[in-house]
Chains A and B, each alone.
Chain A
Amino acid sequence: MAYVETKDLRKAFGDVVAVDGVSLSVGEGELLVLLGPSGCGKTTLMRMIAGLETPTSGEIWIAGERVDVDVPPRARGIAMVFQSYALYPHKTAYKNIAFPLEAMATPPAQVRERVAIGARRFGIERLLSRFPRQLSGGERQRVALARAVVRDPKVFLFDEPLSNLDAQLRALARYELREFQRQIGTTTIYVTHDQVEAMGLGDRIAVMDKGKVRQVGTPQDVYDYPTDTFVATFLGSPPMNLVEHDEQTLYGFRPEHLLPRAAFAQEEDVVIYHLRVRQVEHLGADRLIYGHLKEETRADQPVIAALPVTIPTPVAEDQVYEFAVPARAMRYFDRTTGLRRLDGAA
């Protein structure tokens, strides 16, 4: 059953349409990631759900109640973790966490108890008397999370909360965030432009572009069966290769599926390409091979292949090799509409 639902939601700022008819539903306890490039409308969509923006048209429902008209943010039962964490700089960590409780006129004894529980959950008991400026990025994030949970919200909203952490801490924070969300089982909407974060965190991902939702599905679904060329190239690093075979059709395959012919069994159904190598990057766990396809395609097509270290085939620059893509991994897109098709027949 949908716990958070938007119906044909639109938001226009003057002539600019930030969110253009989005209908989404988030199940109870689910973690839905809104993924898209900057300016795709994901943040505006979240802010409308939070009540920080008023929709131009459409409806928002939270837990069976329509909230887009006349329900202020404080009455929506939401908690939000901001990109900058938005801790109150003049309040200690304790006071920060207690703030939403005090705003609800919670009795002082209960405030103390719930702040203590929240602090214990995130392991920040000994930081409670510090001011935000005395905390590291990771610690600030924990305080922000604690402030969000103490109120027992119906819905969590996360606005790129990991983007201010350095790369190492981010992987750990991602893991912890997922753990924590599973434990408390609160419905969560998470905004990010980072596809790794989206793949790692989301029960489902909604990929957005230009104010519209392009595809909603499990991370695996969205990665394996992108609905159009935008989703295909936005997800994955390096992105999916798209090559033109004829006037109407684009063939799409992930770099990790473009491997030397010898890597496949002789009887496997594959599409063979001749790859002229221009550059090889050694990245440790795999090699990225930048090259061009010529013979089998319409014109010179730049592609990237990702060879895991387990395939030690020597590859030299400026040489042509026989590569192949397994037919099961091949995707087909209409060249004019960009939409995925079921087969490559023109």
Chain B
Amino acid sequence: MALPEQAPAAARPAPLALRRATLADREGALGRLLMAPAFLYVILLVGIPFVLAILLSFSGARSGSLAFSWVGLYHFATIIRDDQFQRTLVNTLIFTVVSQILVMILATTAANVLEAAFVGKRAVRMVLLLPWAVPVSLATMAWAWIFDSTFSVINWTLRAGGLMKGWIYWLGDTELAMAAIIIIHVWRMFPFATVVLLAGLTAIPTEIREAAVIDGASFWRRLFQVNLPLLLPVVAVAVLFGVVFTSTDLSVVYLLTRGGPYNSTHVLSSLAFQRGILGGDLGQGAAIALFLLPALVLVAIGLLRLARRSEVGG
């Protein structure tokens, strides 16, 4: 039976031009084409430099020369015995662990606050994201003034408020300088973690959260027994990003203290930069930079497994 003229468009045969399969219909080809830019990016800008770094760490390469001599584990053996390196390794661990704990506490709190409905929520969200969006050099310059030995606004405020008699030399004291670095880094990192956690919170089905309300659970019980466990996969990913971004971060240390005072605030990446690029010992720089790689890989595997396991609820 011929279809009547007024038959719905879907029931009529397609015009000729649409009947042939186009590139967009061939899933294999289209998939590869769309993947290509990302693939190239990873190979050229991540893969090759990474392999190069590994090769460099086993070589005696120095800047200014194209010579490549194989030295095996010499650089690793050297840096392990180096006091400065040991100090730096401990710094990196403290820097990473302490700032991640602070970031997660702040981000969880902020995400829970931002999730509640209140007037001006959007504005607050915007403001909260600012530290993350501000260029790190600019932000660190501002912080450098805040911690300045003469003009520190913290010191002046404490003095004016009668809370302090003496004077704090933030960047002149080993511990305080490390604290300052951690404060700035936490300030920079927690907006991102907040956004990730907020997305995770929003993804928890409303009915489940309402069920917990109806079931009579208090705020804390809902937080620790329902929301946080359901957030665990997202938290794991946020922590993973945080650990990677923190343990490989160079900017705050380099811009604020340049590793000082007396090289006491160096982290692995700033030390690697100093020895490898500024000092010209490319091999040792690469070895320092790569030192944490095995540990980071293990952390990443552990966190991703945690995320996966809690996702399937097993």
Q: Which residues does A use to contact B, with CB under 8 Å?
A: 50-52, 73-74, 78-80, 82-84, 86-90, 99-100, 102-104, 131-133, 147, 151
Task: Contacts A86-B211, A90-B229 given; indicate if A103 touches B313 (C-beta within 8 A).
Answer: no
**Sample of 25 A–B contacts (CB below 8 Å):** A51-B213, A52-B213, A52-B214, A73-B213, A74-B214, A74-B215, A74-B216, A74-B217, A80-B211, A83-B207, A84-B205, A86-B211, A88-B208, A88-B212, A88-B230, A90-B232, A102-B221, A103-B216, A103-B217, A103-B218, A103-B221, A104-B216, A133-B312, A147-B215, A151-B216
Interface residues of chain B: helix, strand, loop or mixed (majority): helix
CB closest residue in chain B, given A83 = B207
Residue of A80, A84, A89 near B214 (CB, 8 A) is A80
Separation of A90 and B229 alpha carbons in the complex (Å):
7
Chain B residues near A84: list those with CB within 8 A.
205, 207
Chain A residues near B212: list those with CB within 8 A.
88, 99
Could you tell me the distance in whole angstroms from the C-beta of B210 to the nearest C-beta in chain A?
A: 6
Could you tell me the distance in whole angstroms from the C-beta of B11 to the nearest C-beta in chain A?
A: 19
Could you tell me the distance in whole angstroms from the C-beta of A161 to the nearest C-beta in chain B?
A: 11
Q: For window 218-237 of chain B, which residues contact chain A by CB distance below 8 Å?
A: 218, 221, 225-226, 229-230, 232
Could you tell me the distance in whole angstroms from the C-beta of B229 to the nearest C-beta in chain A?
A: 5
Could you tell me the distance in whole angstroms from the C-beta of B87 to the nearest C-beta in chain A?
A: 42
Report whether A90 and B230 are in contact in the complex, using a CB–CB cutoff of 8 Å. yes
Report whether A82 and B207 are in contact in the complex, using a CB–CB cutoff of 8 Å. yes
Report whether B211 and A82 are in contact in the complex, using a CB–CB cutoff of 8 Å. yes
Separation of A83 and B207 alpha carbons in the complex (Å):
8
Chain A residues near B211: list those with CB within 8 A.
80, 82, 86-88
Chain A residues near B210: list those with CB within 8 A.
52, 80, 82, 86
Could you tell me the distance in whole angstroms from the C-beta of A188 to the nearest C-beta in chain B?
A: 15
Task: Contacts A73-B213, A99-B215 given; indicate if A90 touches B205 (C-beta within 8 A).
Answer: no
- Inter-chain pairs besides A87-B211, A99-B225, A131-B313, 10 sampled, C-beta below 8 Å: A52-B213, A73-B214, A74-B214, A82-B207, A86-B207, A88-B211, A88-B226, A88-B230, A100-B217, A103-B217
Report whether B214 and A50 are in contact in the complex, using a CB–CB cutoff of 8 Å. yes
Could you tell me the distance in whole angstroms from the C-beta of A330 to the nearest C-beta in chain B?
A: 37
Report whether B213 and A74 are in contact in the complex, using a CB–CB cutoff of 8 Å. yes
Separation of A37 and B23 alpha carbons in the complex (Å):
44
Task: Contacts A89-B313, A90-B310, A131-B313 given; indicate if A103 touches B207 (C-beta within 8 A).
Answer: no
